[in-house]
Structure 1
Amino acid sequence: MDLYETFSSLKSFEAIKSIDMHTAGEATRIVYDGFPDLRGSLLDQREEAEKKYDDLRKRIILEPRGHFDMYGAILRPQTELVESGEADIGALFIHNGGFSTMCGHATIALGRFLVDTSDENAFPNRSNLRLDTINSTAEVRIHVPCGLVVVTVPTNSDGTKSDPSRPVSFLSTPAFTAARDMEVEIPTNVRWKELGSRSSINFDLAYGGAYYALISAKELGFTNGLKEIDLLSVTSCIRKLKPFLASHPAVIDAIRHPDDSRLSYLYSIMIVDSNSGYHPEAAVSVESGLCYFADNEIDRSPTGSCVSARVALAYDKRQIELGEKRAYNSLITNHFEEGAFIGSVAEVLNESTIIAQVEGYAFYIGSSLFIWEKGDRTSREGFIFDQCV
C-alpha cells in the first residue's frame, strides 16, 4: 500500500509501529518501533518516559487510536539486566493513567511475540533464546520495572515459532502478603449504597509485581458475588474506594516495598469471589475476580500479576500447597468458559513470600502503524471521551 510506505518513511508523521494481541480478552499493544530512545536503568527509563513522552503514551493508548481500557507494552532492548546478561530484553507497560510496574497478561503476550519475531532491531537477542528441544519450549527472560520474569513459551519442533495451542507460563518476581485482614473505617462521604449500615470493610493487601487490595464482593455489599453484578454500581463504588484506600495511612504503611520506593503504591483493587468461576480440568480449585486498575480501567483478563499476589496470599493463609493449581477467572473467561489463568506456587522463599507460576494463552489480533499529522490537535495526545463532555 503506497500510503503505508509513505507514513512509515517520512519522519514528519512520527510513525509508531505495533503488534496487537489479546490475553483472555485483554489487549496488549506491543510497540516495537517509533518510541524515542530512553537511557539509564529500566526504572529510570520509566521515569524519563513519564516526564518527557507521556504525550506519546496517551497517543498510543487513548482515543482515537485506542480506548479507555486499552493496554500496551513498549520494548526496551537495552536495560541494566540486558547488559549484564540476566535478561534478553526489557519492557515498559502503559495504560490509561500512566506506566505500571508489572503486567502478567502482557508478559504472556510478549512471550509469544518475542519468540515469533525475527526483527533484530526490535529484539537483538532473539537468536540467543534458550530452547528445550525435548519439551519444545523457549525461555525468554524479560526485564520489567519490578524485576526479572522468566517466560516459558511453547514452540514448534525447531523453536522458530510459538505454538498457540499450548499455554505460555511465567515465573513471577517475589510475591508476598503485605497485610492480612486489614480493617478500615469508611467515612460517610466515601460510602456507597450497597455497604448499607456498615461503616468499615476488611481486606488483604498483596504484592505480585504491583500492590493489590483484595476484597471479596460480599464484603463490599454485593451479596450475589460476581455471578450477577450491576457493573455501574460496582464501578461507582470503586471510584470512591480506590483513591480513599490509596491515600489511607495504614495502607501506605503496609505497602512500602523493601527494594525500591518507586514500587510502593496501590495499583489496583481486585474484587474476589471464591465461590464462582469456570473450572478447567487442570485446576484443583477456582475463583473469580474483577480488577480495577490505573484510572479505573477494568481488566478483561484474570490479571496475571494479581494472580501472583493471590497465590502468595493463598499460600500465606495455608489455602494452597506447593505446586497445587488454582484457576483464576475474570468476567470474560467465565462468559466464554475459556482462558482462565492457572496459578501455582513454584518456589517458597519464606512463610509469606513465594515465586508464582502463571499460565495463560495469548493470540494475535492485528498490526498497526500509528501516525500524527501536523495540525491535528484532536489526536496529538489522544483523549478520554468522558472527560470531554
Structure 2
Amino acid sequence: MNTTHTIQLMDTHAGGDVSRIVTGGIDLLPGATVREQMEYLRDDADGLRQLLLTEPYGIPEMSVDLLVPATHPEAVAGYIIMEVMGYPIYSGSNTLCTATAVLEHGIVAKQEGVQHFKLEAPAGLVNIEATVKNGVVDAVTCEGLPSYIDTYRATINVPDIGEVTYSIAYSGGFYALVEADALGFKLVREEERALAGCAHKIVEAIKAERGFSHYTLGDVGPLPFLHFMGPEERIADGYVRSRSTTYVHPGVICRSTTGTGTSARLALMNYEGRLQLGDKLETVSLRETGFIGTFTGTHTEGAYQVVENNITGRSYVLSKSDIVINCEDPLVYCGNLHHILSDRHAHALVIGA
C-alpha cells in the first residue's frame, strides 16, 4: 500500500484568519449534495480536518476548506468548511477565501472588474460578487446566512465573573453576544488571552444552563461561539463602525471579526430597531482588520424576523504548495484519512486536470 500521498493547498487569509484551501489530492466524496459530502467527511474521514489543523502541518487557529464539485447546477464549485470545533455549515471568512481561491486557481476565469458566480456551501447556494483589479482579486462580497435573534438580553451568573448580560443570535452558528466594556475590555490585541478565558467561562455557563434550536435545522449542537461587541461609532449616515472579536474554541480567538459574527451583530441591531435598508456595519478586529456587513432586507420565519445580509472583505493568497503525507511518520495518523487520499495528482474538480 502506498504510504506517501500529496495534497495540494492554497493558503489564504481574510482579516487574518487563515483558510487552507484543499485544491487536490483528495478522492471524490460520496453524497448527492455538498451537505451530504460534509456529513461523510465528518463521520467517516475526520482525519483530514485533524491532519491539517494540528502539528506538524497546522494549528487550531486555522480553517480548512475542501473544494469539491458542485452538486447544484448553478454553482461553479462546492466547499466543505472544517474548523477546530468541527464542520460549520457556513462561514463568512472561509467563503471569502474560497471565492478568491476559485478565481486564483482558474475554476472561474478572472476578468477585470466585477463578476458574479455562485458557490455551494453545506448550507446551500451562496451568491458571490468579486472585484478584480489589475489581475488581483481586490474584494469579495458574499451572502451572509439569514440571521435572527433567539434570545435578547438574558442574564446568567458566571463563576469568577459575576452576572453577565447576553443575547443569542443565529447566523450560521449560535452566537452569544456580549458588550465588551461591561466586562472591562477595550478589545485590543494585548487582551487576546484574557478575552479567550472570559469567553470560555461564559459559553460554558450558558451551555450548562440551556441549549438552542434552529427554526428549521433543529438541534445544531451546543453553543459554540461568543462575540464581544465594542461601542459603536457612527461614521456617516447609515454607516457604523465597532471593534469586535469572536471566540470559537478554548484558547482560540479569531484573527478576523468573522463574517458570521458580523451577521449576528446586524441581526441584533435590526432587533433593536436601529437599521434601515442598505445600512452598513464595519467590524474591526484586534489586528485592525475589518469586514463590512450590509443590511439587505428581512423576512419572517415563524416567530422570528430574519435578517438578510451581505459580507464584504478581502482575501489574500499566502502560498500555493504540495504537502507530503507520509503515513509511516509517527506524528501523522492516517487511520481515518487514508481511504480518501488520492494517488492521482488532483481530484476531478480542478479544471484542466
Structure with greater strand share of residues: 2
Encode CA deviations 1:360-388: one digit per residue, 9 max, x unaligned.
11111101212222421113369xxxxxx
Cα separation, 2, equivalents of 1:228 and 1:144: 32
Identity %: 21
Q: Is the 8 A contact 2:54 2:60 kept in 1?
A: yes
- Normalised by the length of structure 1, the TM-score is 0.77
Cα separation, 2, equivalents of 1:233 and 1:162: 37
Give structure 2 stretches of 5+ with no counterpart: 336-353
One-letter code aligned to 2:164: I
Q: CA deviation at 1:239?
A: 2.8
Structure with greater helix share of residues: 1
Aligned residues: 331
Q: Is the 8 A contact 1:54 1:98 kept in 2?
A: no
- Matched with 1:270 is 227
Query: Is 1:35 the equivalent of 2:7?
Result: no
Q: CA deviation at 1:62?
A: 1.2
Cα separation, 1, equivalents of 2:231 and 2:114: 33
Encode CA deviations 1:69-91: one digit per residue, 9 max, x unaligned.
11111112133xx2xx2433211
Query: Is 1:287 the equivalent of 2:278?
Result: no
- Picking from 6, 26, 32, the partner of 2:17 is 26
Give structure 1 stretches of 5+ with no counterpart: 1-9, 334-338, 383-389
> Following superposition of structure 1 onto structure 2, how do residues 296-375 of structure 1 map, counting pairs within 5 Å?
296-333=251-288, 339-350=289-300, 352-375=305-328
CA RMSD after TM alignment = 2.7
Q: Is the 8 A contact 1:323 1:344 kept in 2?
A: yes
- Picking from 111, 120, 124, the partner of 2:99 is 111
Cα separation, 1, equivalents of 2:271 and 2:8: 43
One-letter code aligned to 2:330: R
Q: Is the 8 A contact 2:196 2:250 kept in 1?
A: no
Q: Is the 8 A contact 1:62 1:70 kept in 2?
A: no
- Picking from 70, 73, 81, the partner of 2:65 is 73
> Following superposition of structure 1 onto structure 2, how do residues 1-389 of structure 1 map, counting pairs within 5 Å?
12-40=3-31, 41-79=33-71, 82=72, 85-118=73-106, 123=107, 126=108, 136-155=113-132, 161-164=135-138, 167-186=139-158, 191-192=159-160, 195=161, 198=162, 200-219=163-182, 221-222=183-184, 224-227=185-188, 230-249=191-210, 252=211, 255-261=212-218, 263-275=220-232, 284-333=239-288, 339-350=289-300, 352-380=305-333
One-letter code aligned to 1:154: T
Considering Cα pairs closer than 8 Å and 6+ residues apart, tell me whether 1 or 2 has the greater RCO: 2
Encode CA deviations 1:253-291: one digit per residue, 9 max, x unaligned.
xx3112223635423111111257xx9889721111121
Cα separation, 1, equivalents of 2:126 and 2:168: 21
After superposing on structure 2, the runs of 4+ consecutive aligned residues of structure 1 that deviate more than 4 Å are 279-283
